[in-house]
A and B are shown apart, each in its own frame.
Chain A
Amino acid sequence: MQPILNVKNLTMDFGGLRALDSLDISVNRGEIVALIGPNGAGKTTFFNCITGLYTPTHGDVLIAPPGQAEKRINGYKPNHVTEAGLARTFQNIRLFQNMTVLENVMIGRHCRMKAGIPGAIFRNPSTRAEEKQVVADSYAILKKIELAPHVNELAMNLPYGAQRRLEIARALATEPFLLLLDEPAAGMNPQETRELDDLIVRLRDRENVSILLIEHDMKLVMSLSDRIYVVDYGKKIAEGTPEEIKNNPAVIKAYLGEEVDA
C-alpha cells in the first residue's frame, strides 16, 4: 500500500545548524504514528518543513491524498499544504485568542468555502447558505471534540486542556486526511490525557484521518501508536512498533532511560 505521507531524505539547515539530517518518515492510511525524541531533536522543525512554514534544504515531501495520485509538496505555501489535506496543531498553543471557540473553528473551514468580496457585500442566497452551513459544520465538530458547551466563549478564556482540544477541532475543520499533532498532551493532567487518548483513537476510527503525533508522554505514545519514530539531533535513531522501541537498546540509552520500565 502506498503511504499517504512519504518523506524522503529530508534535511533542514539553519545556517550552520543541521536541525534535520536525511530523515525518512512515512505514514500509512489509518495509522497513528508517533515521533519522539529529546527536546531540540528537530521534531517541531520536521512539522514546519512538511507544512510549508520552512522550506527544507534537501529532500522530498510526498503526499497521496485518498483517491489521488502522489504529489510532491515541497515549496507549497502553508495554506496550500492545508488545502491539500495536511492539518496541524502547535506546540505553543496558537489559537485566535480574541475570537470565540466557534469562530476559531469557522476559520478552519475558510479554505473549503467560496464566498468572495461580492458575496460578503451582497449576501446573496448562496453566501448565506454557505455561512449557515459553516456554522452548523463547525458546531458539529465542536460536539465531536466535546467543546460544544464553550461554543460562544472567547478562546483565551478556555481552560488549558480545552484550548489544546480546540486546536485539534480547528485543524479538523480543514478536512485533513492526515492530522499532525505537536505535543497535544503537554500541560494536561492525567484525566485530560486519558480523554485525549480516547479522542485520538476516535478520530482515527470514525473521522477517517491518519495521525502523526509528537509527544513526550510515553504512556500515551505507547498505548496509542501503531509505529514510532525516534529522532535525536535531527537523525532517525530507531523506528518500529511500541514493543520494538521499548526494547531497543539505542533508544533506551539515548532517550528513554528507565522511564519505560517504570
Chain B
Amino acid sequence: MFNREEIKKSFLVSLWFMFLTFPIMVIRVNTIYNRVEWRWDRLLMIGIGSFLLSFVWRYFIKRKEAGIQKADAGDGNETPLVQRILTTPKIYYPSLAVIVALAVAFPFISSMYQTNIMTTALIYVMLGLGINIVVGLAGLLDLGYVAFYAVGAYAYALLNYHYQLSFWIVLPIGAALGALFGILLGFPVLRLRGDYLAIVTLGFGEIIRLVLENWNAFSFGPSGIANIPRPGFFGFKFSLPEVTIYIYFVMLVLVVFTIFVVNRLENSRIGRAWIALREDEVACQAMGIDKTRTKLTAFSLGATWAGMVGVVFAAKTTFINPASFTIWESIIILCVVVLGGMGSILGVILGALVLILLPEYLRAFSEYRMLIFGTMLVLMMVFRPGGIVTNVRRTYKFKAEDAG
C-alpha cells in the first residue's frame, strides 16, 4: 500500500488541502496591531495530517469496496446485525426492556440540563418519525416540514393567549391543524415530484415563517410570544425541576404513541400503497391506487406529528418566535432521517439521538463543533449511505398456514 503511486496521490491530496485551508488556517489579521500574521507552522501540520489521513481514507474505501464485492459474490444473505436483533425475540425483548428502563430512569439519574436535552432529542425523534412517512415511505421530498411544527407551536401559543386553552386541549388541536395544513400543502404539489416538489415545499415552509414574521396583529411578529404556560396535570402546578421531568415523560409517551401508530400504518393497506407510490407512481396508479388520495394522506399523516410536537415545543420553551422555524430546522429533521436510515423507525430514533445529543456534548470543542458535525455527515454518507440502520424493510413473510 506504500508504493510510489500511493505516496504521490497522498502528497497531492495534502498539497490541495494546504491550499484550501490556507486562508483560514494560516492568515490571521491581527486587528490590535493592524498587521497580518502568517502561521506557517499550521500549514505544515495540515500538510502532514492530511498526508497521513489520506492513507486511512483509502484503506477504508478499499475495505468498503471489498465488502460490496463480497456481497455481490453471493454471500449477500447475511442479515445485518440490527435486523437480526429485531427478529430474534430472545434478544429483542430483553434489550427493549433495558431501553425502556433506562428511558424511564433517565430524568432521575441525570441533571435537569441533561433531561432538557433529552426532551429536545425526543422532539426530534417524533419529527423524524413524522417526516419519515412523507419522505421515507411515500418518497416525497418535503423541505417545508418545519411549517407544520410552527403551526402546532403557534396553535398552542395563540389559543392559550386568547382563550386560555390548556396544553392537553390544544395537543389534539395542534395535531388536527398539522393534518389540515398537510392537506393544504399537498393539493398544490400533487403533480410534482423530486426536485420540483422539494423546491415548492421549501417555499411553503418559508411562506409560513414569513407570514408569522410579518403579520404582527396575528402572531406578534419577530418578537414572538412569551410566557407560554408549561403543561399542567389536572390543575396541579409543578416546580421547574418537576415540570422538566414531567415534559420529558409527556414526550416519551408521545414518542411511544407515534412509534405505535406509524408502525401500524406502515404495515397496512395504506402503508403498502405509500411504498408502492415511492417505487413507481405510474404502475401504482395502474394497479388501482388513487394517487391523489395516497399522497394527501401521506402529507397529512406526516404533518400530524409535527403539529402535535409543536405544541410540546411551545410548552417546553415557553417562548416561541419565527426564528425557531427556519429552513435549517427542516434540514436538520431531514438529516435525522437520512443519517438514521430512511424508512426505518429504529434508524430515525438513533439518528435523532446522535444528531441532537452529539452537538450538545461537543460543546467542549465549541469552536470545531460544526466542523466535526459536518465531517461526520460526510463520512457517514460515504461509508454508510443507507444510514446508521440500513433499512431492510420488514416485508410480509408468507407462511404456509396463510394460504387460507
Contact = CB atoms under 8 A, between A and B. Distances in A.
Interface in B257-314: 261, 264-265, 268-273, 275-276, 279-280, 282-291, 297, 301
Interface stretch (B83-91, B106-114, B396-404): B396-404
Contacts of B276: 96, 99, 107, 110
Nearest to B290: A79
A94 interface: yes
Nearest to B285: A78
A226 interface: no
A144 B321 CA distance: 61
A108 interface: yes
A174 B288 contact: yes
A117 B293 CA distance: 12
Interface in B369-386: none
Query: Which of A96, A115, A135 has most chain B Cβ within 10 Å?
Result: A96
Contacts of B397: 152
B270 A103 contact: no
A103 B396 contact: yes
B402 A96 contact: no
A46 to B, nearest CB: 15
B275 A79 contact: no
Given A53-B282, A107-B273, A132 B402 contact: yes
A71 interface: no
B287 A170 contact: yes
Contact of B286 (A88, A103, A120, A123): A88
A77 interface: yes
A127 B268 CA distance: 9
Contacts of A97: 279-280
A108 B273 CA distance: 10
A131 B269 CA distance: 8
A111 interface: yes
A175 to B, nearest CB: 9
B282 A94 contact: yes
A133 B290 CA distance: 22
A149 to B, nearest CB: 11
B286 A135 contact: no
Nearest to A113: B269
A100 B286 contact: no
A155 B273 CA distance: 16
A98 B280 CA distance: 10
A98 B268 contact: no
B283 A110 contact: no
A90 interface: yes
B4 interface: no
A155 B265 CA distance: 22
Interface in A68-102: 77-79, 82-83, 87-88, 90, 94-100, 102
B239 interface: no
Given A99-B276, A120-B264, A78 B286 contact: yes
Given A96-B280, A100-B395, A136-B403, A117 B297 contact: yes
The residue in A52, A87, A99 that gathers the most chain B C-beta atoms within 10 A of its C-beta is: A99
Contacts of B290: 77, 79
Given A120-B269, A133-B404, A82 B395 contact: no
Nearest to B404: A136
Contact of A90 (B269, B283, B393): B283
A139 interface: yes
Nearest to B291: A79
A139 to B, nearest CB: 5
B404 to A, nearest CB: 3
Interface of B: 261, 264-265, 268-273, 275-276, 279-280, 282-291, 297, 301, 393, 395-398, 402-404
17 contacts: A83-B288, A90-B286, A96-B283, A98-B279, A99-B272, A103-B396, A107-B284, A107-B289, A108-B288, A110-B289, A111-B289, A117-B270, A120-B270, A121-B264, A131-B268, A139-B404, A152-B398
Interface of A: 51-53, 77-79, 82-83, 87-88, 90, 94-100, 102-103, 106-108, 110-113, 115-117, 119-121, 123, 127, 130-133, 135-137, 139-140, 151-152, 154, 170-171, 174
Given A115-B268, A132-B404, 13 more contacts: A98-B393, A100-B395, A107-B287, A110-B273, A110-B288, A111-B287, A111-B288, A113-B269, A115-B269, A119-B268, A121-B264, A130-B269, A135-B404
